[in-house]
Amino acid sequence: MSRVQIPSPAHFFWFFLMRVDANIIKKENSSATLEIKVDREIVKEEFDKVIQIYQENAKLSGFRKGKAPLNLIKTKFKNKINEDVLSSLIPKAYSESVKLTNLSPYTVPEIKVEDFNDNSLKFKADIQLRPEVNVGQYKDLAFHKDNYKISSNDIEIELKKLQERFADFILKEGKKIENDDIVFLKVEAFDDQKNILKEMGDENYKIEMKKDGLYDEFYKNLLGAEVGDEKEFNKKYLENFNNPKLAGKEITFQVKIKEIREKKFPKLDDEFAKDVGDYNSLEELKTAIEKQLIEMMDNKMDNRLEISMIKKIVEHSEFSIPEKLIKNRSSSLLNEFKENLTRYGHDFKNMIENKIIDMGKIQEEVRQQAVKDLKEYLIIMKISELENIKVDDTEVDDCIKKESEKYKTDFKEYKKKLNEDMISYLKHNVMTEKVLDFLKNNNKIKKGKTYKIEDILKEEAKKR
């Protein structure tokens, strides 16, 4: 049976359920400490279970496997047994205490064990609660939704992209290197002391002849050359180049052209449409492209409207966001930035040391984005609370089903692979969609400007 004691005037609240005591100490800046005590019988049972596992698997000199005395097991594996018991009990006790106290922690708790032995576990969990928001007006506002215009040229651009994707590279004999050709080279590199740089050499180096995709020196020296030609040229690297071994140095390249291939575009006809996908004619493919463009641009216009709505509501709301939350979010964003650099072959540390990127500027930009993200999240959650907008398990399952279909995976198998964090992420996405739908239905949406698709895509490319 559950039991709730009357709150004391000193902001202490005691709960007892399922043999876990939880005491909330509320602090300033939306923070709190949970004082948690696990029932001694639960602690003892967990110790017995862990010790038994160690006894069954221990291989100790002088004893057969599983036959070593318990006292010896306790002494020999004391630290590991303690770690396993804590690793098992603390997450469960913390999770149960959060449910009991009806709290909504916003960050991972900081745990400090106060008392721990084979029949006692007391610990504190410092948590950050969701900050309070004084939300401004969010209903009966006026917003403009931009529109777009599809032209035949937009469809032709998409067709050319498909043509590019399905192009073949045909061996080019007796001809010179031209733009868009693929060239295979033997490359050797030397420093200013004529020492060979083996790590920069390649017996079959592949390059595509695009002026914006090559070092200028390669492009200038290879354009117009033929198979068998040998070229030598120098490349001066910038002082802040991301590879410190090359930064500020002049490298001599000796290259021999081994093979040239030219791009052969497929003819835009009914056969091309059949090769591209399940289309019977070129006209059918064009119709499908137009449909895809409409779907893409509808989403973009919706997204623009949603961004403008949240931005306006945020600007007219008051926030008190603890520095700790800003630092946590900033740290996550900075890690994402580093991972993206690594993914593209860049070394973050080297780029900082060689002043390719300004760490101070990056940190400031990351902080600004962190504050923006937190404000938007808090607004979504506050409006959902005020309007009693909820997400049930069925809606989350529908979202998971869509994801599983996207990856052509069985729904149940896909769901099994999702951990609690992933489920929470999907649930928040559903919540966000429902709040945005509510805002669209409870504000005045007026007709905005009409743009060419080409101009919209160019604008987005500049922002990237």
What architecture does CATH give domain 168-264? Roll (3.10)
Residue ranges per structural domain of the chain: 3-129, 168-264, 272-320+387-463
Closest by CA to 183, choosing from 208, 203, 201, 165, is: 208
Fold of the domain built from segment(s) 3-129: Alpha-Beta Plaits (3.30.70)
Percent of the chain with pLDDT over 70: 94
- Between CA 209 and CA 381 the distance in angstroms is 51
Provide CB contacts within 8 A for 226, sequence distance 6+: 174, 175, 176, 177, 257, 260
pTM score: 0.74
pLDDT at residue number 28: 76
pLDDT at residue number 17: 43
pLDDT at residue number 212: 67
- HEC string for the chain: CCEECCCCCCCEEEEEECCEEEEEEECCCCEEEEEEEECHHHHHHHHHHHHHHHHHHCCCCCCCCCCCCHHHHHHHCHHHHHHHHHHHHHHHHHHHHHHHHCCCECCCCEEEEEEEECCEEEEEEEEEECCCEECCCCCCCEEEEEEEECCHHHHHHHHHHHHHHCCEEEECCCCCCCCCCEEEEEEEEECCCCCECHHHCEEEEEEECCCCCCCHHHHHHHCCCCCCCEEEEEEECCCCCCCCCCCCCEEEEEEEEEEEEEEECCCCCHHHHHHHCCCCCHHHHHHHHHHHHHHHHHHHHHHHHHHHHHHHHHHCCEECCCHHHHHHHHHHHHHHHHHHHHHCCCCHHHHHHCCCCCHHHHHHHHHHHHHHHHHHHHHHHHHHHHCCCCCCHHHHHHHHHHHHHHCCCCHHHHHHCCCHHHHHHHHHHHHHHHHHHHHHHCCEEEEEEEEEHHHHHHHHHHHC
Residue at token pair 């690793």: 87
Q: How far is CA 54 from the centre of its chain?
A: 39
pLDDT at residue number 9: 31
pLDDT at residue number 370: 96
pLDDT at residue number 67: 85
- Between CA 439 and CA 436 the distance in angstroms is 5
Count CA atoms closer than 13 A to 354's CA, side-chain side. 19
Give the residue ranges of the chain where pLDDT is below 70: 1-18, 212-215, 242, 244, 464
